Chains A and B, each alone.
Chain A
Amino acid sequence: MAKFVTIGERLSTTAPAVNKAFTNRDPEPIIQRAKQQLDAGAVYLDVNIGPAENDGPELMKWVVQLLQSEFDNVPLALDTANKAAIEAGISVYNRAKGKPIVNSADAGGRIEYIDLAAANDAIVIALCNAEGIAADNDERMTYCQTMLERGMELGMDPQDMWFDPLFLVIKGMQDKQMQILEFIKMLSDMELNSTGGLSNNSNGMPKAIRPIMDSAMVAMAMMCGLTSAIVNPNDLRLMETIKSCDIIKNNTLYADSYLEI
């Protein structure tokens, strides 16, 4: 099995400092956050430029080139509702360290993001969801099949479709958590890759609790076969848990210094 793929989530317009840096094309805060995440062990970096209705393509190009030139062609997930911006980003993207990830498609209004990934030989995060939250795993699986078929018809390698079960918030949907884990197991049994916004599960919890809950969730999800997650790589407890799970799953070879590498 391949090593778990962490996608760093800290370059997002939801963070005011990042939003401001994107708007002003100020490289410093962006480079600083990217470096923090890579030093902590992130494999991919997510670049969320928000809806970016006005200058999306130009902004995405700028960020992609900034990050890849600064960090040896670091692989990126391009995250925006503006499709033209994703295409613009891919047009300047260097694939030396990994294909770009399109973040994200779903089985509803955003299904065409699969077409976009297929046309650009990219990986796509495929959210097993349409409108509202899926009632059960049968519904999630229907969405998964719909998207898988669409991708394959367009010539995509199924390994390039990373299915997202949609992690749900525990405070409010505690009774759904095992369902999500079971769905990850179903994806894994089909030998499909999976990913998702892990920290959704601990949304609304006290700050001190979230790393603990996220770590427990990632360990259980990796047990079920989760192959990737969108995470805060600067959460030390979480990263240590992921590295330890990678050892237990025999994804990486143990050495006494495994937490340092």
Chain B
Amino acid sequence: MPFNGKSGKFNASINTVEVGCGEKAMKIGGENVFPFYTFDAPIENAPKIGVMITDLGLENEPAGVKAYYEGCTTLGEIAKKAAEMPGADFVCLKLEGGDPNGANKSTEECMAAVKEVVDAIDVPLVISGCKNVARDTELLQKAAEVAQGKNVIILAAREEDYKTVAAAAGLAYNQKVGAESADDINLAKQLNVLISQLGVAPANIVMDVGTAAVGYGFEYVVSTMDRVKAAALGQNDTQLQMPMITPVADEAWNVKEAMATEEDMPEWGPQEDRGIGMEVSTAASVLACGANAVILKHPASVATISKMINELM
């Protein structure tokens, strides 16, 4: 019998979500095949890469990151330079300074940072919080207001605060809502249902289903992302057809492989190279599992992942 190749194209597809505005607006999602399966059907929107910056500036960044931003003195200049990073499609501003256990900046200070970044760049923007839920509820709600008209992604609304954050971002200020869960596929779906029930249109929701650096329980990340894509495409589950965005930098640069100094671990080689290695391998892995966008911070990682995406598309 002759071999008949069967296309792995699905009848269902991931929602297309447009972020940003004007010429530099980007689209994520839209595919009806598994990640990078361009041999089954064309993938119109290649996965996108974001560059993470924080309102705390460059003080805690590795030398290679500092070198890239050399000469930048204000947050606005840093944001502008991040937007120009070769291979990057968007910028992610992390309001790290809002953390009550850290710099504990006032909401006004944080919003001034948002305003400065919004005014400085014309590429799409993602605004993420400080990971303290109580504080983020306030910060992200305000940030959605400050960035009005820019069609940004507010990352993220969680089970604890979705009513406030998703309502502000998705309903009051017409931004995109990032729905965050932590490697729990049932909760990922439930959160989408709840946010939809608030009245936010599916085309205005993206998911962060949780991540970890490779080697740190990463198999949970893989199975969650795989099952989300399989249900979205294979079972036409409309409550899971939101594109996925994965913040990689925070995880990858905060594990011992990236943090141990060369003095302490001479046999591991240069510290910064290890951080890049963790960032690149984590990003490549989540993209292979279906992430439609990743957030990185090192220019070397951005260049490598951008090359990988271009070669595979």
Contacts and interface: CB of A to CB of B under 8 A. Distances in A.
- B partners with A: yes
Interface of A: 2-3, 251-257, 260-261
A171 B263 CA distance: 84
A253 B186 contact: yes
A257 B194 contact: yes
B186 A255 contact: yes
B189 A3 contact: no
Contact of A261 (B187, B236, B239): B239
Contacts of B185: 253
Interface residues of B, number: 15
B251 interface: no
Contacts, number: 33
Nearest to A253: B231
B161 interface: no
A253 B227 CA distance: 9
A252 B227 CA distance: 11
A261 B192 CA distance: 11
Contacts of B106: none
Contacts of B240: 253
Q: By DSSP majority rule, is chain B's interface helix, strand, loop, or mixed?
A: helix
Interface centre among A256, A260, A261 (most CB of B within 10 A): A261
A6 to B, nearest CB: 15
B190 interface: yes
Contact of A3 (B190, B235, B239): B235
A49 B271 CA distance: 76
Contact of B235 (A251, A256, A257, A260): A251
B188 to A, nearest CB: 8
B237 interface: yes
Contacts of A2: 235
A38 to B, nearest CB: 15
Nearest to B239: A261
A7 B197 CA distance: 25
12 contacts: A3-B235, A3-B236, A252-B237, A253-B189, A253-B237, A253-B240, A254-B186, A255-B186, A255-B190, A255-B193, A257-B194, A260-B193
Contact of B193 (A3, A252, A261): A261
